[in-house]
Amino acid sequence: MSTVVCKGIALSDIIANEEKSKCVPSQVGELLGFILDLQHGIFQVPARREEALKQLRQTLYSFCWVLHLVQWIAFEHEASTKVINMLG
């Protein structure tokens, strides 16, 4: 935001988040948790978010593995029950 806009906001009843508001124009910044570099045309995921996504992927992978194991055990139990019923 330009200095004029920042002064206008300060004089109004609008409460701006000072930490996220920038009065000096910039071609590099963070928006919605992503890094934008307009000078070089780069759109990046910050390192802190990249690590969080890796951990989420690992958690989901582990959960899916356990879910498949439970489904396999249930299938084996059902199959063995059918065989026992057929024999008995």
Number of alpha carbons in the 13 Å side-chain half-sphere of residue 55: 6
* HSE (side-chain half, CA atoms, 13 Å) at 47: 0
Within this chain, do residues 40 and 66 fall inside the same structural domain, yes or no? no
Q: What is the pTM of this model?
A: 0.39
Q: Based on the domain organization, do 37 and 65 belong to the same domain?
A: no
Which of 28, 44, 60 is the last residue in one of the domains?
44
Same domain? For 13 and 50 the reply is no
Query: Is 77 strand, coil or helix?
Result: helix
| Model pLDDT for residues 51-82, shown as the tens digit of each residue | 888 898 888 888 888 888 888 888 887 877 77
Question: Is 9 exposed, middle or buried, given 0-12, 13-18 or 19+ CB atoms closer than 10 A?
Answer: middle
Q: Which domain holds residue 86?
A: 46-88
Residues 55 and 67 in one domain: yes
d(CA 50, CA 72): 33
**Same domain flag for 84 and 70:** yes
Q: Could you tell me the pLDDT band of residue 2, with boundaries at 50, 70 and 90?
A: low
Query: Are the C-beta atoms of 62 and 70 separated by less than 8 Å?
Result: no
Phi, psi at 41, each rounded to 5°:
70, 40
